[in-house]
Chain A
Amino acid sequence: MSFIEVKHIHKTFKLPLKQGGIKGSLKSFFHREYRTIHAIDDISFSIKKGEIIGYIGPNGAGKSTTIKILSGILVPDSGSVVVDKMTPWKDRKKYVAEIGAVFGQRSQLWWDIPAMDSFRLLKDIYKIGDQEYEKTLNELIDLLDLKDILNVPVRQLSLGSRMRLEIAASLLHRPKILFLDEPTIGLDAVSKRQVREFIKKINRQNKVTIILTTHDMADIEALAKRILLIGKGVLLYDGSLKQLKEQYDYLKTVRVMTKEYVKIKKSYIQSQRRIEGGIEFQVDARKVEMNDFIHYLSSKLTIKDIDFIPQTIDDVIVRLYEEYGI
């Protein structure tokens, strides 16, 4: 059986509709209208032990809701979740002792005191033995380079340092599963890389199963072999990133530097737009040989320079979102 098994979960939220202005406010004071949002609409998937899953989707797709159901915070309206033979919201206390969570936009460290004190609190909360705590802490200090920031009040730290401490805080009790909800949000390139390296390391060394949500596709590319794509509460894609990329690989972006401008009406041109000093084409490589296209182009234009822009994973995702209308 798989380690994490999610079957047909649904979750709806009822939100009060509020109209703006004085009149609207008065109206909703007496009569409140509600709007039902299907945050999760029949999602199923299963995850094996030791996997890193990239959980992606646009804002408001239902990613965080899923994470919160998986971490036992929210209760779904229907459906079943079994993680390591437990139902998160039913065996909450026992279950959460085995998971760690980092919510990138929130903080679990006490603002006014050094992280060390927060760590000690967590040690007591998770009932970690002295020796085990020392060992894990020393490991984390090494891996995440925490020595200099551990005893500084958290409010004086940079976001990057804080995030490293947040991640360390969620690993002190050696969880089997780690939920990372946008762990690299707002970090600079160096910190991002550091966090990614670390995530990889603990996945390899401690066999921690990791579920990662992010909007930064570079995170996904660096970490997750398998991705789950969700939009409007529905699971749209479950598979490898490579496959996903290949699926859309036929679209090539060609940037031509030229003084002239022509509009090319061919079936293989998906779109074109004028850029500074030239034109950019989106070419469907299934319908035309690139050779022929360039040949044709040079017969129409004087080409000063030509660039093939590799498709980034971001492009793929944008295309995917467009395709599914999410």
Chain B
Amino acid sequence: MRGYLSYFKLKFITGLQYRAAALAGMSTQFFFGMVYVLVYVAFYESGSSTKTPMELSSLVSYVWLGQAFFGLVYLWYKDKEILTMIKNGNIAYELCRPQDLYFTWCSKILGERLAMVTLRFLPVILVAILLPTPYRLEAASSISSFLFFLLAMILSTFLMTVLVVLYHVVCLFTLDEKGIVNILMVLADILSGLVIPVPFFPAYLRNISNLLPFRYITDFPFLVYTGNVGGGQILIGLGSQIFWILFLFFLGRFITNKALRKTVIQGG
């Protein structure tokens, strides 16, 4: 355990070192958040009275949450160190450590992602709260929904980790991440609600995204926060999160074990 923790710490610390990257990340998040919010506000103001699936204030909060937690929830993340290690054979060292490869990679990826979100989270939240009314991040709809949101975010973090580790261990076979990551970039980005919140999807697409893990990382916790998902729906959502965590975890471990049986170390 201590070993995994130190991987986590080391990754977290090195992640915090890249100040320029953090600054760039932050401004990107502000920029995108602002653009989305402005567009939605314009839509709502010019729109007719047809019923919208979300209140404007909820929608704006949703957008800001998405930007604040972006470092944690986006799904096309590549761990450069792990991928290079697979390609150039440095993984040989990783394999002669008295540790489980799968958990080692979990702690590395988790460490880096948490570093990423730590650097972006606070400034984005602070500014989003201070903005004037139609543009601002509102408080959670109730205390209970805030608490459930926290729980859902924690599960979402685990879900993100097992999903990201999954395609990293697939690279033990494919040696290259480009194909798989590109597919995820399109698929996960849309289906997770990072582009348009899932409630705005047409019914069939909503059904699809309910059946896949992606929206339980982003969309679900945010909707809990804004109160758009409540009551029994929350429990179903949390259950789905747990199901997907377990499923992807066991799948990842299965693939890792299979891969290690027939590892080839690149470059002799």
- Residues of A whose CB lies within 8 Å of any CB of B are 13, 59-60, 64, 68, 71-75, 93-94, 96-97, 99, 101, 103, 105-108, 110, 112-113, 117, 120-121, 124-127
* Nearest 6 interchain pairs by C-beta: A124-B6, A97-B98, A125-B3, A108-B93, A73-B95, A96-B96
Q: Can you list 26 A-B pairs, Cβ within 8 angstroms, ordered by A?
A: A64-B268, A68-B92, A68-B265, A73-B92, A73-B96, A73-B263, A74-B265, A75-B260, A75-B263, A93-B100, A94-B98, A97-B98, A99-B96, A101-B93, A103-B93, A105-B267, A106-B88, A106-B89, A106-B92, A108-B93, A121-B6, A124-B2, A124-B3, A125-B6, A125-B97, A126-B3
Interface residues in B8-42 (C-beta closer than 8 Å to A): 10, 14, 17
Q: Do the beta carbons of A72 and B10 come within 8 Å of each other?
A: no
Q: For the complex, what is the distance from the CA of A126 to the CA of B98, rounded to whole Å?
A: 7
Given contacts A73-B263, A105-B267, A112-B14, contact A121 B7 (CB under 8 A): yes
Instruction: Collect the chain B residues with CB atoms within 8 Å of residue A103's CB.
Output: 92-93
Instruction: Report which of B10, B17, B89, B264 forms a contact with A13, defined as CB distance below 8 A.
Output: B264
Q: For the complex, what is the distance from the CA of A84 to the CA of B44, rounded to whole Å?
A: 73
Instruction: Collect the chain B residues with CB atoms within 8 Å of residue A105's CB.
Output: 267-268
Q: For the complex, what is the distance from the CA of A296 to the CA of B262, rounded to whole Å?
A: 62
- Interface size on B (CB < 8 Å)? 27
Instruction: Collect the chain A residues with CB atoms within 8 Å of residue B90's CB.
Output: 106-108
Question: Cβ of B246 < 8 Å from any Cβ of A?
Answer: no
Instruction: Collect the chain B residues with CB atoms within 8 Å of residue A110's CB.
Output: 10, 14
Q: For the complex, what is the distance from the CA of A125 to the CA of B9, rounded to whole Å?
A: 13
6 other contacts beyond A60-B268, A64-B265, A106-B89, with CB at 8 A cut-off? A96-B97, A97-B98, A105-B268, A108-B90, A113-B14, A126-B98
Given contacts A68-B92, A75-B261, contact A125 B10 (CB under 8 A): no
Q: Do the beta carbons of B98 and A93 come within 8 Å of each other?
A: yes
Q: For the complex, what is the distance from the CA of A75 to the CA of B95, rounded to whole Å?
A: 12
Question: Cβ of B5 < 8 Å from any Cβ of A?
Answer: yes
Q: For the complex, what is the distance from the CA of A105 to the CA of B267, rounded to whole Å?
A: 9
Q: Taking the nearest CB of chain B, how far is it from the CB of A97, in angstroms?
A: 4
Given contacts A93-B100, A124-B3, A126-B98, contact A117 B263 (CB under 8 A): no
Q: Taking the nearest CB of chain A, how far is it from the CB of B11, in angstroms?
A: 10
Q: For the complex, what is the distance from the CA of A72 to the CA of B100, rounded to whole Å?
A: 13
Q: For the complex, what is the distance from the CA of A124 to the CA of B264, rounded to whole Å?
A: 28
Q: For the complex, what is the distance from the CA of A126 to the CA of B99, rounded to whole Å?
A: 9
Q: Do the beta carbons of A96 and B98 come within 8 Å of each other?
A: yes
Q: For the complex, what is the distance from the CA of A126 to the CA of B6, rounded to whole Å?
A: 11
Q: Taking the nearest CB of chain B, how far is it from the CB of A197, in angstroms?
A: 25
Instruction: Report which of B5, B96, B260, B264 forms a contact with A71, defined as CB distance below 8 A.
Output: B96
Instruction: Collect the chain B residues with CB atoms within 8 Å of residue A94's CB.
Output: 98
Instruction: Collect the chain B residues with CB atoms within 8 Å of residue A93's CB.
Output: 98-100
Interface residues in B76-122 (C-beta closer than 8 Å to A): 88-90, 92-93, 95-100
Instruction: Collect the chain B residues with CB atoms within 8 Å of residue A126's CB.
Output: 3, 97-98
Interface string of B195-232 (1 = CB under 8 A from A): 00000000000000000000000000000000000000
Q: For the complex, what is the distance from the CA of A73 to the CA of B2, rounded to whole Å?
A: 23
Q: For the complex, what is the distance from the CA of A107 to the CA of B265, rounded to whole Å?
A: 14
Q: For the complex, what is the distance from the CA of A99 to the CA of B267, rounded to whole Å?
A: 22
Identify the interface centre among B2, B88, B95, B263: most chain A CB within 10 Å of its CB: B95
Given contacts A125-B3, A127-B3, contact A117 B99 (CB under 8 A): no
Q: Taking the nearest CB of chain B, how far is it from the CB of A155, in angstroms?
A: 13
Q: Taking the nearest CB of chain B, how far is it from the CB of A87, in angstroms?
A: 14
Instruction: Collect the chain B residues with CB atoms within 8 Å of residue A107's CB.
Output: 90, 93
Interface string of B224-268 (1 = CB under 8 A from A): 000000000000000000000000000000000000111111011
- Specify the chain A residue showing the minimal Cβ separation from B6: A124
Q: For the complex, what is the distance from the CA of A59 to the CA of B267, rounded to whole Å?
A: 12
Q: For the complex, what is the distance from the CA of A13 to the CA of B262, rounded to whole Å?
A: 9
- Specify the chain B residue showing the minimal Cβ separation from A73: B95
Q: For the complex, what is the distance from the CA of A120 to the CA of B263, rounded to whole Å?
A: 28
Q: Taking the nearest CB of chain A, how far is it from the CB of B89, in angstroms?
A: 6
Q: For the complex, what is the distance from the CA of A121 to the CA of B98, rounded to whole Å?
A: 13
Q: For the complex, what is the distance from the CA of A207 to the CA of B260, rounded to whole Å?
A: 31
Instruction: Collect the chain B residues with CB atoms within 8 Å of residue A68's CB.
Output: 92, 265
- Specify the chain A residue showing the minimal Cβ separation from B93: A108
Q: Taking the nearest CB of chain B, how far is it from the CB of A32, in angstroms?
A: 14
- Specify the chain A residue showing the minimal Cβ separation from B10: A121
Q: Do the beta carbons of A101 and B96 come within 8 Å of each other?
A: yes
Given contacts A105-B267, A106-B90, A112-B14, contact A72 B96 (CB under 8 A): yes
Instruction: Collect the chain B residues with CB atoms within 8 Å of residue A101's CB.
Output: 92-93, 96
Q: For the complex, what is the distance from the CA of A64 to the CA of B267, rounded to whole Å?
A: 10
Q: Do the beta carbons of A72 and B95 come within 8 Å of each other?
A: yes
